[in-house]
């Protein structure tokens, strides 16, 4: 099997045709104009993965409300995905509505999801892709640790806000321990801009701890 380098932030999501529980999809083309979160899981019918899929489904409407789709995937056959969805609905009462990619290993290889020491299972990866098809956030988790879907939703919201408003998000935004729900103004890039920042901060609605650390209302 051909080896690919692992994708990097800012890379174009590689074009691929995938088989999913909702039919064949062409990525990223079929989702042009939308953000999407593609997340891999080690295997169907495993406890941690089951809790993750239920958690993602419970937030699916929140993701769709911000123009973002969810796509799951693992190296399992399509009938396994379908049966697992049925099990989740019958035993937990949650219907999985987003597509799940059935991978033969080619997608996992293309995206760097098979890691040393983890056999042939995919790691818990998260790719947040923007509406232009660019990789914006890449996260890798070991098989032993389930993901926090609220954090993934927060990450998408933060990146969308940053793109639209030219601001940066502080730690734990929108509940930062220093500046609350305010956002950070990108620091000036030279001496003149730094001096200008301090002279005009008040009229621009900035609060500054120093010339390099200014924040404003979101």
**How do the domains of the chain map onto residue ranges?**
16-165, 166-218
Give the residue numbers annotated as catalytic, written as ranges.
Answer: 49
Output 49 or 143, whichever has higher pLDDT: 49
The answer to whether residues 71 and 21 touch, using CB atoms and an 8 Å cutoff, is: no
The DSSP-derived string for 39-91 is EE-S-SS-HHHHHHHHHHHHTHHHHHHTTEEEEEEESS-HHHHHHHHHHHHHH
The CATH class of 16-165 is alpha beta
Is pLDDT above 60 for 1? Answer: no
Model confidence at 124, in pLDDT bands (50, 70, 90)? confident
Question: Distance between CA atoms of 107 and 119, rounded to whole angstroms?
Answer: 16
pLDDT, tens digit (0-9, with 9 covering 90-100), for 11-44 = 999 999 999 999 999 999 999 999 999 999 888 9
Question: Percent of the chain having pLDDT more than 90?
Answer: 80
- Whether pTM > 0.85 for this model: the answer is yes
**Which residue(s) pair with 69 in the sheet?**
36
Residue 218 has pLDDT above 90, yes or no: no
Is 116's pLDDT higher than 60?
A: no
Q: For 183-204, what is the mean pLDDT?
A: 93
Give 142 or 204, the one with higher predicted confidence: 204
Q: Estimate the share of the chain in helix, then strand, then coil, as percent rounded to the nearest 5.
A: 30, 25, 45
How does pLDDT run across 54-113, given as a tens digit for each residue?
Answer: 999 999 999 999 999 999 998 889 999 999 999 999 999 999 999 999 988 788 888 877
Q: What is the CATH number of domain 166-218?
A: 3.30.1020.10
How far from 40 is each of 22, 109, 139, 188, CA to CA, in Å?
Answer: 16, 12, 11, 39
Computed over every residue of the chain, the mean pLDDT equals 92
The pLDDT score that the predictor gives to residue 123 is 73
pLDDT score, position 15:
94
The per-residue pLDDT for 48 is 94
Share of the chain above pLDDT 70, in %: 94
């Amino acid at each position: 099997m051909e080896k690919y380098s692992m994708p990097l932030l800012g890379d174009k999501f590689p074009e691929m045709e995938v088989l999913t529980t909702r039919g064949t999809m062409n990525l990223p083309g079929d989702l042009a104009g939308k953000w999407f979160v593609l997340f891999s899981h080690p295997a169907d019918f495993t406890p941690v993965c089951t809790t993750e899929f239920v958690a993602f489904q419970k937030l699916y409407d929140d993701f769709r409300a911000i123009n973002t789709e969810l796509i799951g995937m693992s190296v399992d056959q399509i009938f396994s995905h379908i049966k697992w969805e049925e099990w989740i609905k019958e035993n937990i009462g949650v219907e999985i509505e987003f597509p799940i990619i059935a991978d033969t290993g080619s997608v996992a290889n293309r995206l760097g999801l098979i890691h040393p020491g983890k056999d042939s299972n995919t790691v818990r990866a998260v790719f947040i892709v923007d509406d232009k098809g660019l990789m914006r956030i890449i996260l890798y988790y070991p098989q032993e640790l389930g993901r926090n879907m609220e954090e993934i939703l927060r990450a998408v919201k933060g990146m969308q806000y940053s793109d639209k408003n030219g601001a940066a998000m502080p730690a734990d935004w929108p509940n930062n321990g220093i500046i609350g729900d305010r956002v950070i103004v990108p620091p000036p890039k030279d001496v003149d801009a730094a001096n200008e920042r301090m002279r005009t901060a008040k009229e621009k609605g900035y609060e500054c701890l120093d010339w390099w650390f200014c924040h404003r209302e979101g």
